Structure 1
Amino acid sequence: MTIAAPVTGTIDTHCPYCALQCGMRLTGKTVEPREFPTNRGGLCQKGWTSAALLDSPGRLTEPLVRVDGELRPATWDRALDLVANRVIEIQATHGRDAVAVFGGGGLTNEKSYLLGKFARVALGTSRIDYNGRFCMSSAAAAGTRAFGMDRGLPFPVSDLRGADAVLLVGGNPAETMPPFVQHLRDAELIVVDPRRSATAELAALHLQPAPGTDLALALGILHAVVADGHLRHDYVAERTTGFDEVWRIAATWWPERVERVTGVAAADQRSVAALLAGATNAYVLTARGTEQHARGADMVGAWINLALALGLPGRPGSGFGCLTGQGNGQGGREHGQKADQLPGYRRLDDPAARAHVAAVWGVDPDSLPRPGVSAYELLDENPRGLLVFGSNIAVSAPHANRVARALSDADLLVVADVVMSETAAMADVVLPVAQWAEEDGTLTNLEGRLLLRRAAVRPPAGVRTDLEVLHGLAARLGQPAERFPVDAEEVFDELRRASAGGLADYSGVTYARLRDGEALHWPVPSTDHPGTPRAFLDRFAHPDGKARFAPVDHSGPDEPPDEEFPLQATTGRVLQHYQSGAQTRLVPELVAAVPEAYVEVHPDTAARAGLGHGDLAHVVSRRGTVRARVRCVPTIRVDLVFLPFHFPGDGRANLLTNPALDPTSRMPEFKVCAVRLEAA
């Protein structure tokens, strides 16, 4: 393998992992942190070791084509010709939608944009979605419903340093984005999590609700806010609508009733209400733990209701926000990867949006497909052809056995990736693509700030960028070559035009402004506009400028425990690994720290199953069985087990998870399913 070669001496760039997008400095293949508002000179263990993948032996460096059941090296021309010819054959026989595209929340804005354009113009398919559907879709749906716009944090991360109180629901940033925690050090921290996580250990107050009961807890705290005289009547009257309907529901959820459902003491619910109401500057933050449910959009909506009742969103020094997970989770959902969206956060079913984007693309608006289906539904349809970019769905999708069968049954599976992920290993064609330090591109971090990640090394010989792959395939499918540029800045300039006038308006952002270090938070509607670091200060994005309360009620998880499956399982991340683990499991230091799948269990629960600390166990649900090492944790609930989702094979936590979908966001219920524990 020809390893990556340096381009320049030193490049200021950003970490390839989470949406905090910590600032770092790369010299050759040596990483050091740098001062940046999100990380303030800090890095986590993943960031420190991120350059190890640049010359990893696990790196893909040549196209592979399956011949007689085995993946064998091929030229780029042969691989791309094969893909294009098979796509043409499948669509000629089964229709345009028989070929689907699955993207990723780690792709740059340029890749996300061009991938959406490729699907709708070159393939003419409505079947495109991405793994962000499994990450932020419930928060996005709830934010759009309440505020008229979805920007995870509508304020800079650094604003949190002035908070007196922060309520963090379903997040564990001490492990998932450690440098973030420094912004919470001066606040009275309240954590809602059924586990005693590393973040909960830092909290002044830790609430441990039964899994799937977050919505009831939010209603109980809201009830206490009103009953104890903390409601911000002036704010509610002037800046919101719909409170009376919400109160009719919350009035029936007095804290003592909520205690019986959630297990959280009524006194603690009232304490949270008083702490938030008494703070000069307070924030409510949500994350995956309260979002990845079959009622996830309503759960987030309930926490937004609480924040609105306290008068927090859009108030200087206070607010509501959702912590985006993937590196470009925010930008990745703004520019066309989602089944129902066009660039600029436009809706695909809006005639004006279709006309605007079609004009930028030089196509007839009527030629654009209608909205497609969500990520899990796309996979559940068993597409005849599937092109996967930047996602490892064999590990990350719910009901993983079902998804693996769909991948195996496809007539054509194409995977473009950096490493041989579990999904790539199943493919008919594998395309090796460049990674973070080998190409220019922009990302949008969790606070809506545009970042320019610059190339520091050249990719290995034989590797192409995703933009080059899309260009090559589009040309073979009959598209004009110039319609799919390969230069990242040229693609971004087109993205700017396509996003102009949309909610996520990037039209005033240029590479030159980003190179100069300007802090540009979208929307940025003109090149002389300073950006919008704090949204909603004057008005919300609905036509009347007011936020919407959402009338939501508790109903519990889709799959409650029963006699056969008496426990509940939840999933999450650990500090050393990221997402499906395809990359971090190739970094020796990270693998040494957490080498295998494990299950956290209360010692009493383990003992009832005849298990002890260090034993191998089977965790069994209605969909599959996971083999994992037991970790006895006395602080976890006795009715709960926890599994990290980074591991392959029979350690895949998503063999268990329930694909029940939120009716609004189409988010699967990753965070709770009924299981039993057995000795392996």
Structure 2
Amino acid sequence: MTELMLKYFRTKQQKIQSEKVYDTQCPFCSMQCKMQLIEQTVVSRKVYKTVGKDNPTTGGRLCVKGMSAHQHTLNNERVNQPLLKVNGNFVAITWKEALDVIKKEFTTIQKQNGSDALSVYGSASLTNEEAYLLGKFARVALKTKHIDYNGRLCMASAATGANLTFGLDRGFTNTLQEIPYTRCIILVGTNIAECQPTIMPYFEQAKENGAYIIVIDPRETKTTDIADLHLKNKPGTDATLANALLKVIVDEELIDKKFLRKRVNGFAEVVHHLKNLDLDECVKVTGLAKEQLCQAARTFGQEDSGMIFTARGIEQQTNGTETVRGFINILLATGRIGKPNSGYGAITGQGNGQGAREHGQKADQLPGYRSIEKKEDRSYIAQVWGVEEKQLPGSGVSAYQMFEKIDEGNITGMLVMGSNPALSSPNANFVKRSLERLKFLVTVDMFISETAQLADLILPASSYLEDQGTMTNVEGRVTLREASRSLPGEVKHDWQIICDIAEVLGKGDKFSFHSAEEIFEELRVASRGGRADYYGITYDRIRKHNGLLWPCPDMDHQGTKRLFEDDFAHEDGKANMSVIGRSHKKVNLSEEYPLFLTTGRVMSHYLTGEQTRKSPSLTARNFESYMEIHPDTGEKYQLEDRTLAQIESRYGRIVVRSKWSKRIRKDTVFVPFHWGGEQNVNRLIADELDPLSHMPGFKVTAVNTRPVQS
């Protein structure tokens, strides 16, 4: 090293007056990448740098969102104290005043309208501890049946499909480490290159090892760029496509007869249905060439191993559950599950999309993935919570249906924690009107989001750098998010807020927790013996093993890397195949609404953008929404590239900027969902729900478009 270089480093070191290192993990997608935030004070100015940490899931990789995550945490728009709306404006109040207001309003509402008049809307970005505690709070402190969460808009179809088919829902049946060694991969309705970019090396390594990759998507994306075969089907035709692939596999006897005979129910009924399926009609419906369908089916059926991964593209449809089951049918028919390098993966969207749906935020669910309708499940949880079983409420309704209950006058108060339903819900105009009808709305958030703007009271929440707790990532690995940054202002953790509200409501003895780890210890017991069994997982064991995969039923268990090796989770040990595609109500184009609209993400933003739009680095990459449209379609509707366009459906209209692209079908437009106001694409989405999962149909809407007149 030269003297000049030594002088440079000595000078630089002298300028660094102090340095702090915060161990944490990314607060955004389900990869939950481990990282460190390094805070340096350089000549009285704080400078921040994020570096990845080695871990079993991502090996230290980070994407642009993770590297920029601290920017929203440090944003000066953060809510740092309770805010009460007075004469239309928010004014700062003390925590005691805030809790007194909640006690008064909640008590009055339940006295006037009954226990179920109060509701709780949770989040798949909460830690496992906070998700667990929120479910307990709704049922024990409020005694209401009305609790659900924003994961209903994300993972519900995949979860329902897996539970019905396998008897168990863990996003991945295998670990990520098996992906590079499988022979054929089907990625359907997922753009992992932008939504979960740190997972991409697994698929790139598989391709290097000779795997054949099939991607199903109506758009060309960075993910389809790695495909050996891209099936660019019409939006909303995925169930038909799944049936067509399975028909070729069955007709050409590319099935595993022994596996089907020993481990699967329902195959005969599916075969009977497929006999009446016209492959030429499937070609017409999907818009694909017959040769493409046959090539995809034969390749998957003939290889020694295979994996299928689904995501929101097929799940966020009003037949999302049966579409998921249709692709799982392919795995079962070929015996590609419970074996090395073969299995199913639902690529979770939100940071704790897996854990948050396991421990009680869902309307029909108790901790450990137990059912709130089963007597034995209710009795066990009642014992853990120290209440009588008959005191626990029954099932409520799904997330969107709670807003219908508000509109009907059955729900008059709501607590929203870590979510932004005014922006994220379908038929968003209706949801906003419903929220405005409430007698009392409390939001717990870091910012004054579109939902918080409608609130009567806002409570300040902690960030990922401050809030310790466990998260369950995309492969079902329970990780521990360390958090050592001090709470700013009068901010509290979500779990502390829940405990404080329970205290003023007279239920403090059931919520006397002093740390996240204390809550996790109760969660362990509550999950014991359930489908999602965390009993053998502790903070110390997570730290020692760098995370553990559930189920992990005891302290000697090392976690379950591969599910269903011997049995499925139904009582008879078999999986259930399902006949699909018989009764779906399709979205049809018309003269008035001649185009399909589909929605999704961009790499630089997350969910409704409430956090990422507070990051200068991320906003600079995508500062406004847009409509991706084929140039030929743009010319047909007199829309020039980069000009303002109005998009209209039966439910509303928005204005965004056009973006010409030859990578999208001519009958389809794409709009990301990270923006609000006149750019909120969910204003256009219908309120029809999947009958099984209650998932809205975000991915397929009939629309028209025209230039905005200046």
User: Which TM-score band applies after superposition, normalised by the shorter structure?
Assistant: over 0.9
CA contact (8 A) 1:27 1:456 kept: no
In the other structure, the counterpart of 1:499 is: 527
- What is the CA distance between 1:25 and its match in structure 2? 2.1
Q: Choose the corresponding residue for 1:377, options 385, 388, 401.
A: 401
In the other structure, the counterpart of 1:123 is: 142
Measure, in 1, the Cα distance between the counterparts of 2:294 and 2:545.
45
Aligned residues: 675
CA displacement, residues 438-478 of structure 1 (integer Å, 9 cap, x when unaligned): 02100001111100001131120210011111111101111
Q: Choose the corresponding residue for 1:559, options 587, 590, 601.
A: 587
CA contact (8 A) 1:470 1:484 kept: no
In the other structure, the counterpart of 1:15 is: 26
CA displacement, residues 333-355 of structure 1 (integer Å, 9 cap, x when unaligned): 00000000000000000011111
Measure, in 2, the Cα distance between the counterparts of 1:107 and 1:484.
19
- What is the CA distance between 1:557 and its match in structure 2? 5.0
After TM superposition, the structure 1 = structure 2 runs for residues 223-622 of structure 1, keeping only pairs within 5 Å, are 223-382=247-406, 383-553=411-581, 555=583, 558-622=586-650
CA contact (8 A) 2:480 2:547 kept: no
SS in 1 for 2:465: helix
One-letter amino acid matched to 1:97: D
In the other structure, the counterpart of 2:10 is: none
Q: Which runs of 5+ in 2 are unaligned?
A: 1-16, 40-47
The yes-or-no answer on 1:41 pairing with 2:65 is no
Provide closer, same or farther for how the CA distance between residues 571 and 554 of structure 1 changes in structure 2, counting only shifts above 3 A.
Answer: farther
Q: Choose the corresponding residue for 1:184, options 192, 199, 203.
A: 203
CA displacement, residues 165-205 of structure 1 (integer Å, 9 cap, x when unaligned): 11000000000011111100123211000111221122111
Out of 187-196 and 101-110, give the one that drifted further.
Answer: 187-196
Measure, in 1, the Cα distance between the counterparts of 2:563 and 2:539.
23
The yes-or-no answer on 1:205 pairing with 2:233 is no
CA contact (8 A) 1:101 1:129 kept: yes
Q: Choose the corresponding residue for 2:35, options 21, 24, 40.
A: 24
Out of 513-522 and 231-240, give the one that drifted further.
Answer: 513-522
CA contact (8 A) 2:385 2:510 kept: no
SS in 1 for 2:687: strand
Out of 615-624 and 39-48, give the one that drifted further.
Answer: 39-48
CA displacement, residues 135-177 of structure 1 (integer Å, 9 cap, x when unaligned): 0111111100110000110211121111221100000000001
Q: Which runs of 5+ in 1 are unaligned?
A: 1-5
One-letter amino acid matched to 1:311: G
Provide closer, same or farther for how the CA distance between residues 555 and 265 of structure 1 changes in structure 2, counting only shifts above 3 A.
Answer: farther
- What is the CA distance between 1:38 and its match in structure 2? 2.1
- What is the CA distance between 1:8 and its match in structure 2? 9.4
One-letter amino acid matched to 1:600: E
- What is the CA distance between 1:361 and its match in structure 2? 0.5
The yes-or-no answer on 1:214 pairing with 2:242 is no
In the other structure, the counterpart of 2:108 is: 89
- What is the CA distance between 1:229 and its match in structure 2? 2.4
CA displacement, residues 260-296 of structure 1 (integer Å, 9 cap, x when unaligned): 1101111111111121123233101111101111111
CA displacement, residues 555-601 of structure 1 (integer Å, 9 cap, x when unaligned): 55543211211111111000000000000000011111111110011
Out of 603-612 and 82-91, give the one that drifted further.
Answer: 603-612
Measure, in 2, the Cα distance between the counterparts of 1:677 and 1:282.
41
Larger Rg: 2
After TM superposition, the structure 1 = structure 2 runs for residues 604-643 of structure 1, keeping only pairs within 5 Å, are 604-643=632-671
CA displacement, residues 3-32 of structure 1 (integer Å, 9 cap, x when unaligned): xxx999434432110111112123345310
CA contact (8 A) 1:215 1:299 kept: yes
Measure, in 2, the Cα distance between the counterparts of 1:108 and 1:648.
26
Measure, in 2, the Cα distance between the counterparts of 1:101 and 1:533.
34
Out of 550-559 and 140-149, give the one that drifted further.
Answer: 550-559
Runs of 4+ residues over 3 Å off in structure 1: 6-12, 554-559
For the aligned residue pairs, the C-alpha RMSD in angstroms reads 1.5
Measure, in 2, the Cα distance between the counterparts of 1:7 and 1:569.
51
Measure, in 1, the Cα distance between the counterparts of 2:511 and 2:606.
34
CA contact (8 A) 2:470 2:478 kept: yes
In the other structure, the counterpart of 1:645 is: 673
Provide closer, same or farther for how the CA distance between residues 7 and 227 of structure 1 changes in structure 2, counting only shifts above 3 A.
Answer: farther
CA contact (8 A) 2:23 2:483 kept: no
SS in 1 for 2:545: coil
SS in 2 for 1:256: helix
SS in 1 for 2:102: helix
Measure, in 1, the Cα distance between the counterparts of 2:583 and 2:373.
31
SS in 1 for 2:441: strand
TM-score normalised by structure 1 residue count = 0.97
SS in 2 for 1:133: helix
CA contact (8 A) 1:344 1:499 kept: yes
Measure, in 1, the Cα distance between the counterparts of 2:562 and 2:161.
19
- What is the CA distance between 1:318 and its match in structure 2? 0.8
Out of 117-126 and 514-523, give the one that drifted further.
Answer: 514-523
CA contact (8 A) 1:496 1:509 kept: yes
- What is the CA distance between 1:525 and its match in structure 2? 0.8
- What is the CA distance between 1:527 and its match in structure 2? 1.0
CA contact (8 A) 2:24 2:464 kept: no
In the other structure, the counterpart of 1:3 is: none
CA contact (8 A) 2:499 2:508 kept: no
One-letter amino acid matched to 1:624: G
Measure, in 1, the Cα distance between the counterparts of 2:465 and 2:313.
31
- What is the CA distance between 1:482 and its match in structure 2? 5.0
TM-score normalised by structure 2 residue count = 0.93
In the other structure, the counterpart of 2:182 is: 163
SS in 2 for 1:56: coil
SS in 1 for 2:632: helix
CA displacement, residues 77-119 of structure 1 (integer Å, 9 cap, x when unaligned): 1111101210100110011111100000000000000000000
Out of 347-356 and 419-428, give the one that drifted further.
Answer: 419-428
Out of 593-602 and 30-39, give the one that drifted further.
Answer: 30-39
- What is the CA distance between 1:254 and its match in structure 2? 4.1
One-letter amino acid matched to 2:182: A
SS in 2 for 1:102: strand
Out of 640-649 and 253-262, give the one that drifted further.
Answer: 253-262
CA displacement, residues 194-251 of structure 1 (integer Å, 9 cap, x when unaligned): 1112211221110011111100001110011111221111111121111010111222
